[in-house]
Structure 1
Amino acid sequence: MIAINNLTFEIGARALYDEANWHIKPGEKIGLIGANGTGKTTLLKIIVGDYTPTSGTISMAKDIAIGYLNQDLLSYSSDKNILHVAMEAFERQNQLHDEIENLLQKLETDYTEDLLHKLSDKQHEFEVLDGYNIEYKAHEILAGLGFTEADTHRKLSEFSGGWRMRVMLAKILLQAPDILLLDEPTNHLDLPSIQWLEDYLKAFDGAVVIVSHDRWFLDKVINRTVESRKGKLTVYAGNYSFYLEEKAQREEIQKGEFKNQQSKIKQEERLIERFRAKASKAKMAQSRIKALDKLERVDDVDDDNPSVNFSFRFSKQSGRHVVTLENITKKYPAIDILDHTEAIIEKGDKIALIGANGKGKSTLLRIIAGADTDYTGKSETGHNVTQTFFAQHQLEALHLEHTALQELQSFAPKHTETELRTILGSFLFTGDDVFKKIKVLSGGEKSRVALAKALTADANFLVLDEPTNHLDIQSVNILVQALQQFEGTLIVVSHDRYFLDNVANKIWFIENQKIKQYPGTYREFDEWYAKRKIEPKAAAAAPAPKKEEKKEQAPAKQQHSENKFQQLKKLNQDLGKMEEQIAELEKTIKQLEAQLADEKLYNDAAKMKQVNSSYEVKKMDLGHLQLKWEALAEQIMELEA
């Protein structure tokens, strides 16, 4: 489909890519990953022809259609409504629509056979191109990305950059290209929209290349991972979790090869040193020196996953109740956010506040942090609570002329320079990086400085609004490690589900203007919430039980005991059968995963599509079966109690 051969791309004296190779095959769902600065976005621009490689070739079919979502589209604006902008994707259908309208107007005054034939041809082509459904398709995709029916009639220029980016994504998806190149597609999406996009991309027939820092999203969508590192592109035959396992195994092998080679080199060097001075052995020594020079060296493994090696310090412990919300009501002119709701944040809570944009997550955080006082009700901070509030606007509050180190020193004067440099080192500011001025840092680097500041505060309660924005996977891992070590209380809003799953022990969500709570991790909440949506449908579909005629009954206690025994026996039999089905499904899924990991499969597009489709169906079947098993197990436990 697209073949990249011996690609070299240089920026000044630095080679961003050095004879890199990569073949993109039809139907592949690929995650392009790597640390910031390794050239992921650059590579996408090279593929679409925005940049010209220094050397090497990129080959593709002439008629291949590429849909490219990039962050430059943030600046695009238009006074047309967003439905019109999205429907610009249907270039030929729109052209035919206009031509049909013109012909119909002409026929009103010039009714000829020639015009009738032309109209018939245009209408036939319009129908073949599914022209009568394009508006429906546009509405469907815009709705999936979070737009209401009323929004579709508003001008694009009225929306913020993030919402405009959603419109551009809708337009690209409506084009249905052969390959989608998506650079950070989840950056401006809320959780429901991200989940919708996951389902859309999994069902998409074409190839997809995604640059993303969202591990959970990558795991759900991709079946190939390509790592951009040290100027090369390395392919892994699985999703992001597979990549982590496979890379760890490869690095273990590489460590062994490096160690063995170093041992042999030292042995050779000792022999050379020993015989170099002897005239009779000089020729042999020179021969060994040449062989050593020609030896292809195995590199040692670099540690790409730095660990956090600082501990949080706060001078006093908070009381049991950190924040108490009573009868909180918050309204805006066009929308009700909270209506007489109550909640308590207790010491040690690690709360993830989740939900769609516009439901009031950031508003609730500001109320909790005391940054918003325009509400009715009572928000009370508990005894000895010291708070730090992190929000995206704080990036603008950084002192541009300060270095990263000076910024922390002015905020946390009680810490020594060594401590602050250690903290900055944990956030990937190593060596002289700590002396870079804030004004020259990227958005992600500024975010890391602001987070480092928040984490050096003498605070036992952290309020974090979108701390993972602008962070790459490596930086998110660092933040996860830091917050896992934090012994205080926190509440966080983020769309990064991997981050939430590894940080939170309690989930809050806003439903019907009330704060609802789930006591568990994000993964557990996700399964529970999916089951919660399925159960009402199942209950509504279930037929009402038939009335039976009264029969002579056994004594109540004895009959209840017998019924309970018979019921438990049947439920346990059903559970056993279900476990067998689950084991069989898991076995089939492993076999399909083995096929998907085989490079040969990708030479046969039809077979690959069939295997991939079977894999997705079996995974879905397994998920449904596991939900049924859990429900049955709970039923048995209730009867046994």
Structure 2
Amino acid sequence: MTLISLDKIERVFGDLVVLDGASLRVEERDRIGIIGDNGAGKTTLIKILAGIDDADRGSRNCQRDLRIGYAAQIPERTPGTTVHEFVLRGNGVFPQLEERIRALEAELAAAPTDERLLAQYGALQGAFEAGGGYDRDHVCDRVLDGLGFSDDDRRKDVIKLSGGEAARAALAALMLQPVDLLILDEPTNHLDLQGIEFVEQFVTKHPGAVVVVSHDRRFLDAVATSIVEVDSGLARRYPGNYSAFAKQTDLELLTTSRAYKDQQEFIQKEMEYIRKHMGSRMTAQAKGRLKRLKRLQLIERPKTSKGEMRLKFTGGRGQSGQSVLEVDDLAAKLPDGRELFRQVGFRLYHGERLGLLGRNGAGKTTLLRILCGRAQPSRGEVRRAHRVRPGVFTQEMEDLPTHGTVLEAMQALDPQATHKELRDHLALFMFSGDEVDQPVANLSGGEKRRLCLARLVRGEYDYLCLDEPTNHLDITAREGLEEALRAYPGAALVISHDRQFLEAITDRVLYLADGRLQTFDGGLEQCLTALHEAELQRKALARDARQAPANQAAGKEQGAARSDKIRNPLLFERLEAEIFGLEEQLEELRAEMERPENYTNFENMRSLEERRALIEADLAAAYAKWENWA
């Protein structure tokens, strides 16, 4: 069943035509990934889909009372509101019910015997309870935990959050909304690996339809059942995930390139014949061929294939096996004196690419700043090879000039380059035309990051320290950066949570957690496997902790059952089978409760909680019998 459709949408901003006949249809349970180059119109398309923006031409049709979740609908952050409160308010259903309940309570205080008010109050209380209103704190905590918010983070004033933290809080609020269509715009930005996998599971199991704009190829492979590419004002849909899309478009490019080449060769031969025979006794044949050429439907020159953004890092001098960085017993502290990490040690060799991973707040950025000389450790030593110069890409962008235009910022780095050379280089990073004359101070955060990366690529460095370089880059730019880093002869240390990017460029992975650094010589896959095993172990320990009270209670009933075991061993075997069956039921139920679609289905969550309580009670009783018999 169609939930919503856009037909021949046109949207123009000044002289810029962003959408020119784009169409999109969303069915129930669709998982649509939207991709395209920066500036192609992806965000404009989803704003029109969400009803936030209007099209200049075309039609938008949706089901009546269709519930749409989109980030722009999340309430503004207000001072004095904790992260937990902010996320709960993102689900507008319960705050509205609570407000109406409080209003009725005030009226009942003045008229406690009013039957009409009592009936309304009872109905609202029933709706609040039946919808799982009393369980919403638990559901909210589960989502915040999945997105990497600690207990301390949840108590923070939401107005004091950093940009990345605020984006994660808004995403959490959006995920709590009970909607039929969820629209996400680059949800994996600002998430660590665990957070990305949590969102993947949520999107995959969401009961409604999901439309997501993303440049994360591994994420799109995991969640998308179709891909919509926004290009040249149109939206073209392909079945399957991103890998299927890439194969299909590569095949299309190959086919079109061959057809274009064959047609160009044919045209060239025909023109040679026409030039040779026009004005001779073969003029009639030449004119006939000229007419046929004029009627020929020309094949457009194929666009550059995906991932062919030609970037190239220069520099990187050194010898293979030479140590570029030697780190020993490194430690760092937070401003309040708490230790961020300790006993960090490793070597970075010429030509090597290291990935630096860890949960948000683990200290990755601090470590990278220490390694490139931008910050000092509280203990330990960083030794750099003689006369090596690091190329640094940081979140703070402190190397970016604060005055002048985009073009002048590039000219300051490379005074010998011509304006044409610099304009061509900036075009690779989506700065074209008059955009290169914009003041740097007027750029958005994403534009400033792209300019920093453009300057970094243009410079000459012996090793690179990069902090989330793929953020705000489209897929073509990410693949171009991958190629450039693979070809770079020097060493590189990269913080990133783009798994496909990391797989493409890294030799080893360093993982920072609980103040310690762990090395994975097997790369990203070895690291992910270890993280999954650690998570399973954590859940097992939590399960044991939950079962401990039941086991302690079981030990209090001793005595009579021992003789039953001796008198009837068959009963003992049945009891063991019963315990095994109850444990399996409990494990399946917990897995069901962790399914993301239940986070917003409060009635179902309440039913699951009741079933769990009954099974745990039966299991406790069975354990009590078994302990007495054992």
Identify the residue that residue 220 of structure 1 maps to in structure 2.
222
Cα 1:506–1:27 shift into 2, 3 Å: same
The one of 327, 343, 348 aligned to 2:346 = 343
Which amino acid letter does the alignment assign opposite residue 26 of structure 1?
E
Identify the residue that residue 245 of structure 1 maps to in structure 2.
247
Q: Does 1:195 align with 2:197?
A: yes
- Comparing 162-171 with 263-272, which one deviates more in the overlay? 263-272
- Comparing 7-16 with 20-29, which one deviates more in the overlay? 7-16
Shift of 1:334: 6.2
Which amino acid letter does the alignment assign opposite residue 83 of structure 1?
H
Matches within 5 A, 1:84-103: 84-101=85-102
Cα 1:294–1:400 shift into 2, 3 Å: farther
Identify the residue that residue 460 of structure 1 maps to in structure 2.
462
Alpha-carbon distance between aligned partners in 1 of 2:101 and 2:437, rounded to the nearest angstrom: 65
1:175 match: secondary structure: coil
Contact 1:510 / 1:516 at 8 angstroms: preserved in 2? yes
Contact 1:319 / 1:383 at 8 angstroms: preserved in 2? no
Identify the residue that residue 301 of structure 1 maps to in structure 2.
302
The answer to which structure, 1 or 2, has the higher relative contact order (CA under 8 A, 6+ apart) is 2
Identify the residue that residue 389 of structure 1 maps to in structure 2.
392
Matches within 5 A, 1:183-582: 183-259=185-261, 261-262=263-264, 289=291, 296-304=297-305, 305-308=307-310, 310=312, 312-314=314-316, 317=319, 320-332=322-334, 333=336, 335-394=338-397, 397-398=400-401, 400-404=403-407, 406-412=408-414, 424=426, 427=429, 438=440, 443-531=445-533, 533-534=535-536
Q: Name structure 2 gaps, 5 residues minimum.
A: 545-630
Q: Name structure 1 gaps, 5 residues minimum.
A: 543-641
| Cα deviations by residue, 1:231-287 (Å, 9 ceiling, x for unpaired) | 111111011111111111122232344345556666887899899989999999699
Alpha-carbon distance between aligned partners in 1 of 2:268 and 2:237, rounded to the nearest angstrom: 33
Shift of 1:484: 0.6
Cα 1:266–1:287 shift into 2, 3 Å: closer
Cα 1:116–1:77 shift into 2, 3 Å: closer
Contact 2:309 / 2:477 at 8 angstroms: preserved in 1? no
Shift of 1:73: 7.0
Alpha-carbon distance between aligned partners in 2 of 1:139 and 1:541, rounded to the nearest angstrom: 18
Identify the residue that residue 177 of structure 1 maps to in structure 2.
179
Cα 1:309–1:114 shift into 2, 3 Å: closer
Cα 1:50–1:437 shift into 2, 3 Å: same
| Cα deviations by residue, 1:536-591 (Å, 9 ceiling, x for unpaired) | 8789999xxxxxxxxxxxxxxxxxxxxxxxxxxxxxxxxxxxxxxxxxxxxxxxxx
Cα 1:161–1:110 shift into 2, 3 Å: same
Which amino acid letter does the alignment assign opposite residue 301 of structure 2?
D
Alpha-carbon distance between aligned partners in 1 of 2:180 and 2:198, rounded to the nearest angstrom: 20
Shift of 1:416: 8.4
What is the total number of aligned residue pairs between the two structures?
Answer: 539
Cα 1:96–1:470 shift into 2, 3 Å: closer
The one of 144, 147, 150 aligned to 1:145 = 147
Identify the residue that residue 6 of structure 1 maps to in structure 2.
8
Shift of 1:308: 2.8
Matches within 5 A, 1:125-164: 125-164=127-166
Cα 1:426–1:129 shift into 2, 3 Å: closer
- Comparing 360-369 with 94-103, which one deviates more in the overlay? 94-103
Shift of 1:379: 2.2
1:326 match: secondary structure: strand
Shift of 1:91: 3.1
Contact 1:225 / 1:239 at 8 angstroms: preserved in 2? yes
Which amino acid letter does the alignment assign opposite residue 215 of structure 1?
R
Shift of 1:466: 1.9
Contact 2:403 / 2:440 at 8 angstroms: preserved in 1? yes
Alpha-carbon distance between aligned partners in 1 of 2:374 and 2:286, rounded to the nearest angstrom: 78
- Comparing 505-514 with 125-134, which one deviates more in the overlay? 125-134
Contact 2:314 / 2:461 at 8 angstroms: preserved in 1? no
| Cα deviations by residue, 1:275-315 (Å, 9 ceiling, x for unpaired) | 998999999969985x8667654322111543436462345
Cα 1:413–1:273 shift into 2, 3 Å: closer
Contact 1:323 / 1:381 at 8 angstroms: preserved in 2? yes
Identify the residue that residue 30 of structure 1 maps to in structure 2.
32
Alpha-carbon distance between aligned partners in 1 of 2:59 and 2:539, rounded to the nearest angstrom: 54
1:233 match: secondary structure: strand
2:347 match: secondary structure: strand
Alpha-carbon distance between aligned partners in 2 of 1:102 and 1:314, rounded to the nearest angstrom: 69
Shift of 1:43: 0.9
Identify the residue that residue 610 of structure 2 maps to in structure 1.
none
Alpha-carbon distance between aligned partners in 2 of 1:93 and 1:285, rounded to the nearest angstrom: 78
Cα 1:110–1:13 shift into 2, 3 Å: closer
Contact 1:29 / 1:208 at 8 angstroms: preserved in 2? yes
2:469 match: secondary structure: coil
Alpha-carbon distance between aligned partners in 2 of 1:315 and 1:150, rounded to the nearest angstrom: 45
Alpha-carbon distance between aligned partners in 1 of 2:94 and 2:540, rounded to the nearest angstrom: 41
Contact 2:320 / 2:351 at 8 angstroms: preserved in 1? no
Identify the residue that residue 580 of structure 1 maps to in structure 2.
none
Cα 1:91–1:53 shift into 2, 3 Å: closer
Contact 1:363 / 1:372 at 8 angstroms: preserved in 2? yes
Shift of 1:209: 1.1
Identify the residue that residue 83 of structure 1 maps to in structure 2.
84
Alpha-carbon distance between aligned partners in 2 of 1:403 and 1:218, rounded to the nearest angstrom: 33
| Cα deviations by residue, 1:318-358 (Å, 9 ceiling, x for unpaired) | 98332222222222226421123332323333111101111
Shift of 1:457: 3.8
Give the CA RMSD over aligned residues: 3.8
- The TM-score normalised by the length of structure 1 is 0.74
Shift of 1:58: 1.1
Contact 1:327 / 1:376 at 8 angstroms: preserved in 2? yes
Contact 1:74 / 1:164 at 8 angstroms: preserved in 2? no
- Comparing 416-425 with 165-174, which one deviates more in the overlay? 416-425
Shift of 1:90: 3.8
Contact 1:87 / 1:171 at 8 angstroms: preserved in 2? yes
Q: Does 1:59 align with 2:61?
A: yes
Identity %: 30
Contact 2:147 / 2:191 at 8 angstroms: preserved in 1? yes
1:2 match: secondary structure: strand
Contact 1:395 / 1:446 at 8 angstroms: preserved in 2? no
Contact 1:463 / 1:492 at 8 angstroms: preserved in 2? yes
Contact 2:273 / 2:286 at 8 angstroms: preserved in 1? no
Contact 1:395 / 1:450 at 8 angstroms: preserved in 2? no
Shift of 1:374: 4.6
2:187 match: secondary structure: coil
Alpha-carbon distance between aligned partners in 2 of 1:432 and 1:103, rounded to the nearest angstrom: 59
